[in-house]
Structure 1
Amino acid sequence: MTVDVNSVDQPASLAEAPLRQARNSGAFWAATARSRGHEVLRRPGFVAAVGDERAGTRVLIQEPGLDGDAVAEIVELARGAAGPVDVEDPFSATDLSQLGYRNWQMPVMLRQPGPVEEPHLEVVRAGNAAELRAAERAVIDGFELVRFEPYRGNEMFPEALLDEDGVDVFIVRVDGGEVAGACVTVVDNGYGSHYWVGTPEAFRSRGVGRAAMLGSLAPLADMPVTLTASRLGRPLYESLGFAVAAPATWWASR
């Protein structure tokens, strides 16, 4: 069955959530690559953001069950990559074991349109260089992204990212203004999705992640929203109305 990914005439089904997540992830990583000045490769079955030795290369599988030629191209791309390589398969239908990478599964989740409660902490959309740097630092610390250490500002989230259509970066403030967490949302073809919902260790267990989700969900309340959840994040997302749709498989070189 062919799914029209350009319109939303009715609530999304769990069955199509992996495809929606695939399309949104492709849009997000293409936008990220452009903002960094990196190459974007588009193929019928996948999108790749080809970065440097620190940012690495991200491959976003766009269709279930890629053929041998597509798999061979991904393998060649990975072997020639300058830095770490990550591959996302929201369909868990393509065997990339020949890469020799570690792999694991996380659920693709879907939230239908609906009201969103007010966050108990201040959540704002990053609108300038200082706020973007604070978001960048919060995500790097929250996810322990050692590939971006020592820290170089404007590398993970370049200022050009703020000019990408559909991409918004949010920060959570506590204690009179200190940034305690961040996340990114992307709207593409009538669907939203979340990325990099991160809280540095010093601010955990204070509801920062929940506040980040609530504050960033508010502008998306009238559309379906997908995301890929970690084991620790899943209970939070379920409490916000997300339902598990299907397992996604991730492959990583390190």
Structure 2
Amino acid sequence: MDDLLLANRNGAAFWRALGPARGYELIERPGFLAALDPVRNGLRVVITSPQPSAVDLAELAELQQRPWPRISIEDPYGVVPPRGPAPLTPTRSPVMIRRAAPLPAPAAEIVHVQTEEQLAAVDRIVVEGFPLPHFQPYGSAAAVPAGLLTTPGFDAYLIAVDGQWAAAGATITQDDVAGVYFVTTLPEFRGQGLARQLMYAVLNQLDPLPVTLTAAAPAQHLYKSLGFTTIAEATWWSG
């Protein structure tokens, strides 16, 4: 299967898990998946086809015209122009994939999340460290809600430093591919290599599946050093 299709399938699986756990309405069509939250997260879209139908494009255009608090459209194929009532800003982020290969065992203790308390720690790290301003202050709403604990294919991980939760990440596994999301270190613990240790544990856990992710600029060097290669430059429209 095409690597970009693998990554897209996993991105859609991520929102099929996260959207309902947050209480969002989902709309899924052959060409896109949309998660709808009129209060906080707004309209979140993943384009899932290089050739969306005219019907899909018309529905997506109608969705963009609604009054959302924010809009975010992930378009790895570069095929959908934004049509919202206000200008949207484009950014480019690499979509990456890694085939299974040996890695060192992590030197730090990695906690595989099992409890709501642990998942709440993941939520705090993601909201404050990523950061996610529309979920701040922390506790006003869950970005990584407790319902994910019982979602098939979802896993989350934590690292503690001196008894304090310091870094976190999550994965979604579906069929023949896994995806990595929300890899985050709180600002006061950065520079200690925690993200690398977390990725050692996660990638060893996911072996032998191919693993995909979309890399933020500060983390691209780390992911390349772990064996990830870029398969596309996705356009993200936001506003």
TM class by shorter chain equals: over 0.9
Gaps of 5+ in 2: none
What CA deviation, in whole Å up to 9, does each residue of 1:11-55 have, x standing for no partner?
xxxxx2221111101011111111122211110101111124223
Q: Residue 155 of structure 1 is aligned with which of 142, 146, 171?
A: 142
- Structure 1 pair 81/146, CA: closer, same or farther in 2 (3 Å)? same
TM-score (norm 2): 0.93
- Superposed, which structure 2 residues align to 1:81-160 within 5 Å? 82-92=68-78, 94-99=79-84, 100-152=87-139, 155-160=142-147
C-alpha separation in 2, matches of 1:125 and 1:224 = 20
Structure-2 separation of matches of 1:81 and 1:160 = 28
Alignment of 1:55-66 (within 5 A): 55-66=41-52
Inter-partner Cα distance in structure 2 for 1:152 and 1:79:
30
C-alpha distance in 1 between matches for 2:126 and 2:221: 20
| Cα distance, 1:97–1:50 mapped onto 2, change above 3 Å | closer
Distance 1:220 1:81, change over 3 A: farther
Q: TM-score, normalised by structure 1?
A: 0.88
Aligned-residue Cα RMSD (Å) equals 1.6
- 1:217, 1:68 → 2: CA distance? 39
* Aligned length in residues: 237
Does structure 2 conserve the Cα–Cα contact (< 8 Å) formed by 1:18 and 1:91?
A: no
Report the AA paired with residue 144 of structure 1. P
- The runs of at least 4 consecutive aligned structure 1 residues that moved more than 6 Å come to none
CA distance in 2, matches of 1:213, 1:85: 30
Provide closer, same or farther for how the CA distance between residues 81 and 218 of structure 1 changes in structure 2, counting only shifts above 3 A.
Answer: farther
Instruction: Give % identity.
Output: 36
Name the counterpart of 1:184: 170
| CA distance, structure 2, for counterparts of residue 59 and residue 194 of structure 1 | 18
* 3-state SS of paired residue (1:121): coil
Q: CA deviation at 1:130?
A: 1.1
| Counterpart amino acid of residue 89 in structure 1 | D
